[in-house]
Amino acid sequence: MASGNVGGGPEYGGPQPGAAPQPGGAPQPGGELTSDAKTWGMLCHLAGLAGYIGIPFGNVIGPLVVWLIKKEEYPFVDDQGKEALNFQITILIAGIVSGLMIIILIGILLLPAVLIFGLVMTIIAAIKASGGERYRYPLTIRLLK
């Protein structure tokens, strides 16, 4: 589900209405995020694809690294990095459970479904973040707030 709060605001570290623009990715006067903030927000999500290319726990490590590097500089990246991490941790847990359920055969269908869902939702989130939208993944355990 997408949030309608594209322009930031106090709850995301953005400026108060009428305040001067903040450096480093905070919304500009027209409610626009900087190009760099959008790019790094998108990379938070895309870094989760590292797990799909064979890097062990890459789906969690990728977003974690991007988030840790840029969270102080860009409030948008802080928000999207937490969201990407929460989703990738949820997918990791679901993948492990599905893998274990192969023993009772349901995992044979469930594991590919989890992987495809993770891939599709990650791509959707990256597209939304590249447009400056504060994307919220469905079915996600929110461990980081």
**Which pLDDT score is estimated for 18?**
46
**Per-residue model confidence as pLDDT tens digits over 86-136:** 999 999 999 999 999 999 999 999 999 999 999 999 999 999 999 999 999
**Using CA atoms, how far apart are residues 11 and 34, in angstroms rounded to an integer?**
18
**Per-residue model confidence as pLDDT tens digits over 37-63:** 999 999 999 999 999 998 999 999 999
Residue corresponding to tokens 């939702």: 121
Q: What is the pTM of this model?
A: 0.78
8 A C-beta contact, residue 41 and residue 127: no
Residue type, 111: L
Strands (E), the chain: none
**Which pLDDT score is estimated for 84?**
97
Band of residue 31 on the pLDDT scale cut at 50, 70, 90: low
- Tell me: pLDDT of 30 over 70: no
Strand partners, 85: none
**Which pLDDT score is estimated for 27?**
52
For 11, 87, 107, 135, the CA distances from 124, given in Å and listed in that order, are 23, 13, 25, 9
Strand partners, 135: 2
Q: What are phi and psi of 2, to 5 degrees?
A: -100, 145
